[in-house]
Amino acid sequence: MPWKSSDNLPGAAQKLKGHSRAIWVAAANAALTQYKGDEGRAIATAFSAVNKYKEKKGIKKATEDNDIIKATTEAVEKLESGKLRYRGTEFDGYNKPKDSNREGKQKMVLAKKGNEVKIVHFGDPSMRDNYSAEANDAFYARFGNRPEIKDPFSPLYWSAKILWPRGDMKGKGIKKSLLDGFAELINKAFGEIQTESDATVEVTKAVDTEQRRAMFVVLEPDVVDAHGDTYSTEEVEKACISFNTHCNKANLFHRVQTEAFKIEQSFIVPSSFTTDDGRDIKKGTWAIWTHFPEDDANSELLWKMVKDGSVQGVSIGATAKVEELNND
């Protein structure tokens, strides 16, 4: 909405007086029209105009402090598409980075901390990011001890999280969103045939929405799978123990390791029970409890897909010896 010279100016603009305030209002409203309602760009343009005026007059420059771009969730509009609109810019959700609309910046994110929100621009598109393990170490040697690296409202926090990830992504480029990862994997797999080790099974619907946890069946003994194979109780237990001992890490499509969800428990069901949706789980079944952390863009997306049924199971990746069974 257009700004007036009195009561509806944002944050630091209210500190401007006289001619500086008039310049700010005129420039902001003109930029709001030019940039089709993008308040963030309009505000930045207005402060640039004020500073040019002050440079000519030899006056100390105005600053665009955090109050300009920080507000509460009440200022965020939720669209019918499920996206969010804040200050004229649409986002896929809170804490989900996208390409920046600001010149000289690589990414932007509608960061959320409690009930506060703030648009954060981060990264330099002219620079390479996380291109080697040595470069990653150098980044954290320089910035790793700064307190703002733990603040979601800081550009450094997002640069570290997305552009310079550690762990399995150290030195392997920027962290991609789950959707980007899905698209890349689908493109790579186009035309490929699923291998026999990729047996997908149904989700049990044991979903705890309060704790953001879901239980999945991994392998069920003495049940014929989609490939016509079956597993004994002993083999299922051996597979579970092997996974817990040597792997116990989450991945997508057996190709991309991820921190979008955590495997909290991997276990053999000690006695038969029935899930909330009426499915019978027999004794000796290998099951896992997974957790989907809050305030992580990829985790939020994957958790939504679990709840709406887009993700319906887990898949094992393993080698095994096949033994023919007699029909009798």
Contact 206, 298 (CB under 8 A): no
Alpha-carbon distance values, 262 to 16, 55, 78, 256, 289 (Å) = 49, 53, 29, 14, 9
- In the chain, pLDDT over 90 holds for what percent of residues? 22
Give the model's pLDDT for residue 276.
Answer: 65
Report the distance separating Cα 138 and Cα 136, nearest Å.
Answer: 5
The pLDDT score that the predictor gives to residue 199 is 40
Residue predicted with more confidence, 159 or 320: 159
Q: What are the residue boundaries of the structural domains of the chain, listed by start?
A: 11-63, 70-176, 199-316
> Tokens standing for 167?
């762990």
Tokens, residue 273: 């029970």
Tell whether the model's pLDDT for residue 327 goes beyond 70.
no
Beta-carbon contacts of 257 under 8 Å, excluding residues fewer than 6 positions away, are 168, 249, 250, 251
Mean pLDDT for 218-231 is: 79
For 50-76, give the secondary structure using H, E and C. HHHHHHHHCCCCCCCCHHHCEEEHHHC
Q: Is pLDDT at 62 greater than 70 in this prediction?
A: no
Q: What is the DSSP letter of 315?
A: E
Report yes or no: 245 and 310 within 8 Å, Cβ to Cβ.
Answer: no
219 pLDDT higher than 50:
yes
Tell me the C-alpha distance between 249 and 158, whole Å: 24
Question: pTM of the prediction?
Answer: 0.43
Q: How far is residue 23's CA from residue 306's CA, in Å, rounded to a whole number?
A: 51
Phi-psi region of 117 (alpha: psi -120 to 50; beta: other; left: phi over 0): beta
Which of 306, 305, 297, 304 minimizes the C-alpha distance to 112? 297
Say which residue the tokens 């619907």 belong to: 205
pLDDT classification of 294: cutoffs 50, 70, 90: confident
CA 36 – CA 160 distance, rounded (Å): 32
On the question of pLDDT at 257 being above 80, the answer is no
Average pLDDT along the chain: 78
The Cα–Cα gap between 304 and 294 comes to 12
Phi, psi (deg, nearest 5) at residue 288: -135, 145
> From CA 285, how far away is CA 281, in angstroms rounded?
7
Q: What is the pLDDT of residue 164?
A: 94
Q: Is the pLDDT of residue 45 over 90?
A: no
Q: Which two tokens stand for residue 276?
A: 């909330």
pLDDT above 80 for 297: no
pLDDT at position 108 over 70: yes
Single out the residue of 132, 208, 198, 207 nearest to residue 170, CA to CA.
Answer: 132
Phi, psi of 69 (to 5 degrees): -120, 10
pLDDT of residue 136: 92
